[in-house]
């Protein structure tokens, strides 16, 4: 499928790291499949798991490039590869639900949810964006019209019911209403003290 970059993202040589991986587990036969199709077998819950040798990860094709390491505002990407999740803005704003470490809030800057800086500076993604091969992003994966203009002040006052109605079935759902409010407060404070680049 690709190789693991220094930023720990799976990078496809033509698509970069901006891709969806998915799988459907089924014991149904699917007509129209061609090529080397495995024989149908029972679902995992029905049969014992078999031990298989671990798959080898393709060697990194990052070479001497260190753009992701240099661009990371928190230094979360190790020079020899690997990610310190506890220092990653995505962890703070999504998984920890707005619990950015108090002494590191300035490093979050104006980032409200997640962080893709390491992917934005990656030459593999820049090449993929210039490649006419990948299909355009489907409309259902784009922002909903009601989400294209959100004011930071509105997020500070967002109540739980409005959050549920507005952000259900969006990625923002992962940080919960209290997390989104806390993230908005960090960004608000950074703007107030001039902590934004």
Q: If DSSP states are collapsed to H, E and C, what string results for the chain?
A: CCEECCCCCEEECCCECCCCCCCCCCCCCCCCCCCCCCCCCCCCCCCCCCCCCCCCCECCCCCCCCHHHHHCCCCCECCCCCECHHHCHHHHHHHCCCCCCHHHHHHHCCCCCCCCHHHHCCHHHHHHHHCCCCCCCCHHHCCCHHHCCCCHHHHHCCCHHHHHHHHCCCHHHHHHHHHHHHHHHHHHHHHHCCCCC
Residue-averaged pLDDT of the chain: 83
Q: What confidence score (pLDDT) does residue 95 get?
A: 93
pLDDT class for 190, splitting at 50, 70, 90?
A: very high
% of the chain surpassing 90 pLDDT = 44
Q: Where are the domains of the chain?
A: 67-131+151-192
pLDDT, greater one: 90 or 46:
90
Counting beta carbons within 10 angstroms of the beta carbon of residue 145, is it exposed (0 to 12), middle (13 to 18) or buried (19 or more)?
Answer: exposed
Q: In this predicted model, which residue has the larger pLDDT, 135 or 19?
A: 19
* Cα separation, 69 vs 80, whole angstroms: 10
pLDDT digits (tens, 9 = 90+) for 29-55: 778 777 666 666 655 555 555 666 655
**108-122: pLDDT as tens digits:** 999 999 999 999 999
In the chain, % of residues over pLDDT 70: 82
In this prediction the pTM is 0.75
pLDDT at 88 over 70: yes
């Amino acid at each position: 499928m690709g190789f693991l970059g220094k930023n720990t993202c799976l990078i496809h040589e033509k698509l970069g790291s901006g891709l969806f991986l998915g799988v459907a587990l089924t014991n149904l036969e699917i007509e129209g499949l061609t090529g080397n199709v495995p024989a149908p077998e029972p679902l995992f819950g029905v049969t014992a798991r078999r031990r298989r040798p671990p798959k080898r990860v393709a060697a990194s094709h990052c070479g001497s490039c260190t753009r992701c390491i240099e661009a990371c505002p928190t230094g979360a990407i190790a020079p020899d590869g690997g990610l310190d999740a506890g220092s990653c803005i995505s962890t703070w704003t999504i998984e920890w639900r707005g619990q950015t470490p108090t002494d590191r809030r300035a490093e979050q800057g104006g980032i409200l949810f997640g962080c893709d800086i390491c992917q934005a500076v990656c030459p593999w993604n820049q090449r993929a964006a210039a490649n006419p091969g990948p299909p355009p992003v489907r409309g259902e994966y784009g922002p909903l019209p009601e989400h294209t203009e959100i004011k930071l002040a509105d997020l500070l006052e967002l109540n739980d019911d409005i959050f549920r109605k507005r952000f259900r079935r969006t990625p923002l759902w992962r940080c919960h209403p209290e997390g989104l409010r806390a993230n908005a407060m960090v960004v608000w404070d950074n703007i107030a003290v001039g902590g934004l680049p």
